[in-house]
């Protein structure tokens, strides 16, 4: 798991639309789904076992908040949405995201209001 967390932070992936730019693997269209599903699965375990520790979700929250600018400009924003929508993981990111709400709004405006992920994230921060 540690190696996975290390790898998803590396800026190695290229997008078809921007082949010269590199971005974190965490924002790749397939990788972000896998990581989001892991967060969701961990939250399901918490519903069954109240004393279960959210180690993966805690690590994921730290990575996304540490690399905030990269996270909100890629599909990794959907992992943030998953974290904020689950009651078990909500405390991991809510305070920090509310503090960076203006940056999220600015990025949303920069996208021309077309970023569905940022729109959903802003809606969840209200």
What pTM did the predictor assign? 0.85
State the maximum Cα–Cα separation within the chain, in Å, rounded to a whole number. Answer: 46
Q: Which is more confidently placed, 13 or 23? A: 23
Residue 3, pLDDT above cutoff 80: no
The chain-wide mean pLDDT, for the chain, equals 86
Domain locations in the chain? 2-125
pLDDT category, 16, cuts 50, 70, 90? low
Give the whole-angstrom CA distance, residue 46 versus residue 102.
Answer: 32
């Amino acid at each position: 798991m540690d190696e996975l967390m290390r790898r998803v932070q590396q800026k190695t992936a290229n997008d078809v639309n921007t082949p010269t730019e590199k971005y974190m693997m965490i924002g790749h269209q397939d990788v972000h789904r896998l990581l989001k599903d892991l967060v969701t699965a961990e939250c399901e375990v918490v519903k069954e076992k109240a004393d279960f520790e959210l180690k993966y979700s805690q690590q994921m929250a730290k990575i996304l908040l540490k690399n905030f600018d990269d996270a909100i400009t890629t599909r990794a924003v959907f992992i943030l949405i998953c974290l904020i929508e689950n009651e078990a993981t909500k405390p991991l990111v809510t305070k920090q995201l509310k503090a960076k709400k203006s940056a999220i709004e600015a990025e949303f405006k920069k996208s021309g209001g077309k970023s569905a992920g940022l729109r959903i994230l802003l809606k969840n921060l209200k």
